[in-house]
Amino acid sequence: MAANSSLGSKRGLPELNGLVNLYSSDTGEPVAVLNATALTGFRTGAAGAVASRLLANPDATTLLVVGTGSQAPYQIMAQLCVLPKVTQVLLANPRDAKKAQAAAAQMPMTLEKLFSQTIRATNSATNSVVAGLIDHRLSEVEFTGVTDLPAAVQRSRVIVTATPSTKPLIQADWVQPGTHLNAIGADMEGKQELDAKLFQGAQAYTDDVPQASEVGEIQNPIKAGVIKPEQVVEIGNSLLDPTLGRHDANAITIFDSTGITLQDLAAANLAFVRAKEQGVGTQVDL
């Protein structure tokens, strides 16, 4: 169960608080309780990374992240892991430009705290190496808060949108050929971050077509008659068949991430397994 609390954010708490309870598939006994906020962040960031690894131009140097909420650091770190040539990260907040500038100034520290410091805390030699690689990667990147969203879109070849918007933030004529977009925010009916016309002529992907057609970003171009559900490729199929990926360097590709319950379960189980392997967490006898 998760709760979104503005009072909690004023007290320095995460925007979203929740727990994931994991049970044995054999006996039904509870085996773990996990932080849902972190789990959702990692899982959603990983989904975006998979899409960018498959679909983004590997020579992309500029990443734009629209939205400065709790999902932003996970999306940024995931993208930096799969796009080694990105050295510019632009941050935009459509509601408050000052928040974008503040987030950009704090982002290196935020990423270091969330990732490299946390990894080092496990006292594993392997994890120490991983943390060092993360620190080195972050040292290569410049973070900038932007106020001119159209100009930022035109500069960027990889764009991530992670907002609760109900109207298009990015217009079709801003997006340049060869750009890849990860639309993360739309997860219920009525949400929208991208101009529906952007899907005309673009290659569209999602995690689950039936679900995304109802609640994801693709609900909007489908309702507008711009595309049909059968034109959208499920990202899992493109993992199995490389011919379903980017057709050419100038294509515009869009991944609509809605989140799948099975992904949450798989991520929770993986976190539990890794925690046991590395002796992380607290064991409680019930």
Confidence of residue 10 (pLDDT cuts 50, 70, 90): low
187-219 pLDDT per residue, tens: 999 999 999 999 999 999 999 999 999 999 999
What is the reported pLDDT for 9?
56
Q: List the structure tokens of 71.
A: 């999902």
What's this model's pTM, rounded to 2 decimal places? 0.92
Q: How far apart are CA 192 and CA 164, in angstroms?
A: 8
Each as own residue / partner, the long-range contacts of residues 243-251 (CB below 8 Å, 24 or more positions apart, any chain) are 245/54, 245/55, 246/54, 246/55, 246/57, 246/180, 246/203, 247/203, 249/57, 249/178, 250/177, 250/178, 251/177, 251/178, 251/202, 251/203
Q: List the structure tokens of 263.
A: 């992904």
Q: At what angle do helices 261-278 and 36-55 cross, to 10 degrees?
A: 110
Phi first, then psi, for residue 218 (nearest 5°) are: -75, -10
Range 35-45 average pLDDT = 93
Across 46-60, 111-125, 215-229, least confident range: 111-125
Q: What is the DSSP letter of 176?
A: P
What is the reported pLDDT for 250?
95
Residue 125 has pLDDT above 90, yes or no: no
- Please give the order of strands across the beta sheet that includes 16-23: 2-4, 16-23, 30-35
E strands, 54-170, are 62-66, 88-92, 142-145, 158-161, 166-170
Go through the domains of the chain in sequence order and give each one's CATH number.
44-260 (3.40.50.720)
Range 258-282 average pLDDT = 90
Residue 2 has pLDDT above 50, yes or no: no
Residue 278 has pLDDT above 90, yes or no: no
Q: List the structure tokens of 23.
A: 């049970």
Among candidate residues 239, 240, 222, 223, the one with its CA nearest the CA of residue 231: 222
